[in-house]
Amino acid sequence: MHQPAIQSPNFGFLAEHGAHLLDFAGRAERYVLDDPNTTLIKLRQLAEELAELAAAYTNIHPEREDGFSDLLRKLKRKHIVSREIADIFHGIRKAGNAAAHEGAGTRQEAVGQLKLARRLAVWFHQAFRDPDFRPGPFVLPPTPPKVSKALKAELDQLRKARWDSERRADETEDALRKAVREQEAAEARAASMFAELEAALELAEETEARQAQLMAAHRARVEALQAQAEAASSEEQDATRAQAQAATDRFDLTEGEARECIDAQLRARGWEADSIVRTWENGARPQLGRNQAIAFCPTGSGYADYVLFLGETVAAIIEAKRRNIDLRQALDDAASYSVGYEIQAEEVLPEASGAYRVPLLFASNGRPFVGEDDVLHGVWYRDVRSTTSGSAQERWPTPSELADLLRP
């Protein structure tokens, strides 16, 4: 039987690079609300294939024993991917591995990783096909018709929260109205595409034979691109690398995507984190025995982007910023929330200093550490009990490390 082509609402442009990519992407977005574990596994497969194709396009030959991480290191050394892009690849890789081997993965995490995978796919398309490509808004699948009222309410809240997270507070009313119109139009178009996607995937049953067929198609595509890259002149090879490097240099994340990165980084370090769902407004509260990053906590100075709780202890405040904002200065915003922090529930305040009520402050835009003096990268940290400045760190503290920092 002839199988209809997959029409992916978020990844359709990948058809130009091979139908096997659309199979992984289509399954990932189709099941993101029903089966987040499957979505995370498929996104890991998609990300690895994108990395292998990027290497083939740029005449980078991995060794037979090279794994996904080894390939990313080689792409980074050639500046085909930046550390920021590599970190997103690694985040998808780790989430997919946890889903495959531990059955891990929540609906919220799957949606966040799907958005970041789409951002990688856009980068890939700009790097190797159309440098001026601009995708439309990201869309979620419609809520399945046969779900409980509780699940429907959860999905509706998730959809609204994800949309609200992309709205920038400094946008004009005209810009916001335009964004709303674009999102509504994209969702209207996507409704029929998701129906077609579901029909196509039902016919394209995921058997071992089909998986072998997809892998064979991918290997054939990689080998063809490698042969093409080797046969190209040095000028043509330079032009291909230059276009890829230009797309990498332009790579940027929206504020919402930056928070997705911070969420993933915090989860990797042992925190319960989701800035869309685990918010004070949604009822998240500090609890004994849980290490949580609760988003948008009210203070007398406004809403803190995140507060880290060790059980019921208020351990730290995080200020999340967009790209190209001085993170050292962002610590001053976190400091104002420390001064204005007010007990809201059963939380316990540690000993701080002077007017400060929360001693540990952090600021980040999700971008990886570059150097101790780089104010646009890394995790910036200040302990108000001992300093009024700050320092850059490579990663977030684990709960146990934060507990050590909290001790006088």
Torsion-angle region of 318 (φ positive above 0: left; ψ -120 to 50: alpha; else: beta): beta
Q: Say yes or no: 114 and 27 in one domain.
A: yes
| Domain contains 5 | no
| Domain contains 3 | no
CATH number at residue 320: 3.90.1570
3-state class of 362 per DSSP?
strand
The 3-state secondary structure of 97-141, one letter per residue: HHHHHHCCCCHHHHHHHHHHHHHHHHHHHHHHCCCCCCCCCCCCC
The C-alpha atoms of residue 91 and residue 273 are separated, in whole angstroms, by 14
Q: What is the CA angle 358-360-366, rounded to 5?
A: 125
Q: Say yes or no: 240 and 99 in one domain.
A: yes
- The pLDDT, as a whole number, for residue 282 is 85
- The pLDDT, as a whole number, for residue 291 is 97
| Domain contains 138 | yes
Q: Say yes or no: 351 and 299 in one domain.
A: yes
Q: Say yes or no: 280 and 215 in one domain.
A: no
Question: pLDDT averaged over consecutive 10-residue blocks of the chain (408 residues)?
Answer: 64 90 88 89 96 96 88 94 93 93 85 92 97 88 64 63 52 61 68 67 66 84 94 95 95 81 90 89 93 95 95 95 81 95 90 90 88 84 90 94 93
- The pLDDT, as a whole number, for residue 65 is 82
Of 228, 251, 274, the one marking the end of a domain is 251
| Domain contains 286 | yes
- The pLDDT, as a whole number, for residue 385 is 93
| Domain contains 4 | no
Q: Say yes or no: 157 and 30 in one domain.
A: yes
Q: At what angle do helices 107-128 and 149-165 cross, to 10 degrees?
A: 40
| Domain contains 151 | yes
| Domain contains 7 | no
- The pLDDT, as a whole number, for residue 2 is 44
Q: How many residues make up the chain in this entry?
A: 408
The C-alpha atoms of residue 166 and residue 258 are separated, in whole angstroms, by 10
Note the pTM of the prediction, 2 decimals: 0.80
The total of structural domains in the chain comes to 2
| Domain contains 227 | yes
- The pLDDT, as a whole number, for residue 241 is 95
Q: Say yes or no: 324 and 183 in one domain.
A: no
Of 251, 280, 303, the one marking the end of a domain is 251
Of 232, 251, 270, the one marking the end of a domain is 251
Q: Say yes or no: 71 and 153 in one domain.
A: yes
The C-alpha atoms of residue 314 and residue 377 are separated, in whole angstroms, by 25
Q: Say yes or no: 62 and 201 in one domain.
A: yes
- The pLDDT, as a whole number, for residue 85 is 94
Sheet bearing 391-393, strands edge to edge = 272-273, 291-299, 302-310, 313-320, 360-364, 379-383, 391-393
Q: Which domain holds residue 274?
A: 256-406
Q: Say yes or no: 385 and 275 in one domain.
A: yes
The single residue listed with the structure tokens 């991917």 is 81
Q: Say yes or no: 199 and 267 in one domain.
A: no
Q: Say yes or no: 243 and 343 in one domain.
A: no
Q: Say yes or no: 236 and 169 in one domain.
A: yes
